[in-house]
Amino acid sequence: MPSIWNGRVRVILASLLVGLALALVWPSSRVFLLKRLGAAQPGIDQVGGVRLIYEIEAPPGQSTTGLSGRVMAALQRRVDPRGMMRNILWRPVSDTRLEIDIALPPEARGLPKIRMAFIHTQEALDATNISRYAVVDAVEHLTATARQQRLSELAMGSKTRASLLAQASDAFDHIQALKANPDNLPPEALAIKLQPLIAAYELIEAQIEGTNLPAVSLEAMLDQAGSDSRDQKQAGQAWLDDLNKESADFPLRLKAMDEFERRYQEYEALRLKVTDVAELKRMLQGSGVLGFYVLADSLTVPDESQLKAIYARLAPSGKGPMPQPGDTMRWMEVCRVEEFDRPGQSPQTHEWNGKHYMPVLVTPQASMTMASGNWGLETAYPTADSNSGRAIVFQFDAAGKRMFGDLTSYWYEFAQRRGGQYQDARVRLAIVLDDKVISAPVLNSPIKGGSGVIAAGGGAGFSAADADYLINTLNAGSLPAPLSKDPISEECIEPASTK
């Protein structure tokens, strides 16, 4: 027994001495942990970089014990969802302060330029797509030479798309000629003859949309082709091979695809290892709190005086958008005004001191927030919207599925019951992240499947950077408390070789 204890003491003393030596050489705020996959990351003292210190803004009355550690864990899931450590060291300084070291080895300094090059290739690929609205406008509103010129522009050199556009024009012209009813058919007989022609026209429209290739889809193919799984790799490569064959008569698309793949490989090889300071600051913002609110309008608020009262707050002499005690409605800031207010259309937002807002209902019956119950998201991932733009799918857990189904069912049926002048009206549901409206889709039916889509306005939908931020933020979950908007300290650290 004594010999065993002596051995343990020797081991413990040796460990303490080694630990003390390491602490003297590398203080705790300087030590970089080993990457989960691979060798140790070079520290900020060796290669240089930036040290940020953030204050954690704890809500009033909330215990701050261990708060910085909980916030750090949630932010790590957001910033580095694949767990690659990269070039970032996180360290709680106190319960309400968090220090972040960003080592900037030579390859990291070129990351912003590489990222922008990749984003430009995404935009170039998306530019080879066309929206249904552009097709309808050309086919149904232009004639003769103007139509032919526009259809040629939309074809973009693709023989397959040009053929489909020509078929769509012929089908539409046939429908219009029949609608003129030269044979004086009874309405019922005319409708019967029109039905198959309209169905064929709609099918051609769908085939035209099928010539689009959203950047998010090509990225998913490349991800799959680069998988470690043999089956996934083979499936992804087969998918890419088929796509290249389908695009053989579309030189502009092939060129955009080749450039996209080249820039993707270049960016992917680097972005999992390092990040830059500006991108990190962007990813740290916000608490990641998701909520759903019914928009307040003449359909959802039968009492017109209540609407007038909330609108009066944004009048020049009004109180402004800040919530008031007892409110059943409130003004919610929109994330991007251009997603809601379009040229040539009535604005959907209301301005106050340079910011834009939309009114939402905040009653329990008209909203779904963290206060509504214990619900959450299981996953969020990229998809494409109806215009081939970037959008995001989110999937609820079991509790969220039930609550979202109840919310959407109630308000869909509410709109149906209003009847009269509101017979064709639909309730709009604001999707809100960190108290900002990021989307407000029309509720066309109850949503009971447990999933939904966040889509942005415009043909391209969300930008690549915004889509990544939203997906990572939603998947990471909400923070126990947000960080200060800006770091309270930002220090540039020179490499050891220059000191």
| Ordered per-residue pLDDT tens for the chain, 499 residues | 333 334 434 433 344 344 434 333 333 333 333 333 334 455 677 778 889 999 999 878 888 999 999 999 988 888 887 766 567 889 999 999 999 998 877 766 677 788 889 989 998 998 999 988 899 999 999 989 999 999 999 999 999 999 999 999 999 999 999 999 888 999 899 999 999 999 999 999 989 988 999 888 898 888 888 877 888 888 889 989 999 999 999 999 999 999 999 999 888 877 766 667 887 888 888 888 889 999 999 889 988 899 999 999 998 888 899 888 889 999 999 988 887 887 778 888 999 888 999 999 999 999 999 888 888 888 888 888 777 778 889 999 999 999 999 999 999 989 888 755 555 568 999 999 888 998 888 888 899 999 988 877 555 577 777 788 888 888 888 888 889 989 999 998 887 665 5
Pairing of strands 367-368, 429-433: unpaired
Cβ pair 494, 48 in contact under 8 A: yes
- Give the residue from 395, 329, 407, 415 showing the smallest Cα distance to 368: 407
Please state, in angstroms and rounded to a whole number, the distance separating the CA atoms of residues 376 and 397. Answer: 6
384 backbone dihedrals φ, ψ, rounded to 5°: -120, 140
Buried b (16+ CB within 10 A) or exposed e, 441-465: eebeebbeebbbbbbbbbebbbbbe
Which element (helix H / strand E) includes 378? strand 377-384
Tell the CATH topology of 288-476: Gyrase A; domain 2 (3.30.1360)
Region of 61 please: left (phi>0), alpha (psi -120 to 50) or beta. Answer: left
Please state, in angstroms and rounded to a whole number, the distance separating the CA atoms of residues 88 and 275. Answer: 8
What's the alpha-carbon Rg for the chain, to the nearest Å?
Answer: 28
Give me the count of residues in the chain: 499
Cβ pair 275, 84 in contact under 8 A: no
Q: Which residues pair with 455 in a beta bridge?
A: 391
- Give the residue from 130, 111, 274 showing the smallest Cα distance to 209: 130
Cβ pair 312, 318 in contact under 8 A: yes
Cβ pair 474, 400 in contact under 8 A: no
